[in-house]
Chain A
């Protein structure tokens, strides 16, 4: 669907190679990355298991959903979750975890700190 109009104007050969690329891109980077969760302040509980593995292709929004579920937060009682990388950066929900991992990993883990209020303006 995305950029579908562009595609109809490409030659068959080009389309073939593009599809091939997307295939290899999917399989090559289908690997997993390690994520370590940390809390900021004492107002939100720690996870029982702080280390998780997740696919490189996932978007950051899945982390937010995951935490909301794990911590049993409810949207309507103000239970928002704020996540930070390197204690300062708020990733965009559509950032790919593989990219974030490559850029912000510490050792071989991506550290994500979380809080139930804005911790770093």
Chain B
């Protein structure tokens, strides 16, 4: 049987690896072309994504030639979370049996369905003789024995645990950027964090959409100051084309760029800073004007953003599930006029 390492899978579009940690819509905006003039016909109706399997030690499915693009995509580290999930299961199981059926640990089981002891776990706990306590060492030894693919719930729980810890980190970062400390997010109760995460990540459907959006926003409000003058900074990530580069503007240091609004004195004047002003200050070559897109244009959620809108408002309306406002900068291109003269582009590779 070919052993498939879950942390050796990634996706590519046009030989460019996709970062799994970005919202899929942002990736789509970054890798597709031609939405200027709102000409949607230019856009491919199908987004071709290639799934790649790498190898690390073992021979991969495609002969072991491909290598996980560690320089470009964050490695997916499942082992730690696998042991976390396993130890939770073992402790839930053993407590269950020791306590004679008394539900003593509802929190540790996290209410996941189907965790009533699948085949691989029983084998594991009996082979290592873990009863009652699950020390770290036991967990670490047992990871090797667990056949991930034989247990669907184990895969999804592990991946979910990994993704949740990533998401929590993003939210901590967002909270820090807005408030200057992560305390507001960290003070959530365990269960609240769980609900917040669920509201951010459960796929929308028409029946749940409204309430989930409200729930997410309610939680998000709790980590944002009530008065906009108390907002220190806004979490924005601006993706430049061509380079593997992200700009994260620090608005407090850009406070001098707001000459248009002398009347607004709150938070140093930057609450009125428009997207155009921000982009002009940061990348003047791509945005020579702060009123008109001449060389490049900003896109988020598949929409060309108006340069005249205040950044604060864009953030509150268009932030993503991880709390950031992701904006990709796209070049205005005349699709027919030139494919020559771009030799040497490989100089600016992925690094």
Residues of A participating in the B interface, judged by any CB pair closer than 8 Å: 1-12, 14-15, 17-22, 24-25, 78, 85-86, 88-96, 99, 102-104, 121
- Residue with the highest number of chain A CB atoms closer than 10 Å, among B33, B247, B342: B342
From 140 to 168 in chain B, residues with beta carbon under 8 angstroms from any chain A beta carbon are: 140, 165
B-side interface residues toward A, CB under 8 Å? 14-16, 19, 21, 30-31, 33-34, 72-75, 140, 165, 169, 172-173, 176-177, 181-182, 186, 233, 240-250, 253, 283, 285-286, 295, 331-335, 337-342, 345-346, 348-350
> Can you list 14 pairs linking A and B with CB atoms under 8 Å apart?
A2-B349, A6-B333, A8-B342, A10-B331, A10-B342, A19-B348, A22-B240, A25-B243, A86-B181, A89-B172, A89-B173, A103-B233, A103-B250, A104-B176
**B176 contacts A96, C-beta separation under 8 Å:** no
Chain A residue, CB-CB nearest to B75: A93
Seed contacts A4-B14, A12-B338, A94-B74; 4 additional CB < 8 Å A-B pairs: A20-B285, A22-B240, A85-B176, A94-B19
Hey, which chain B residues are within 8 Å of A22, CB to CB? 240, 242-243, 348
Q: Specify which of A10, A19, A88 is in contact with B338 (CB 8 Å cutoff).
A: A10
User: Given A1, A3, A78, A86, which contacts B241 in the complex, CB threshold below 8 Å?
Assistant: A3
A102 to B254, alpha carbons, bound, how many Å?
11
Task: Check B337–A12 contact: CB distance below 8 A.
Answer: yes
CA distance A51 to B260 in the complex (A): 41
Q: Which 7 A-B pairs have the closest CB atoms?
A: A10-B333, A99-B248, A102-B250, A21-B285, A12-B338, A88-B182, A5-B14
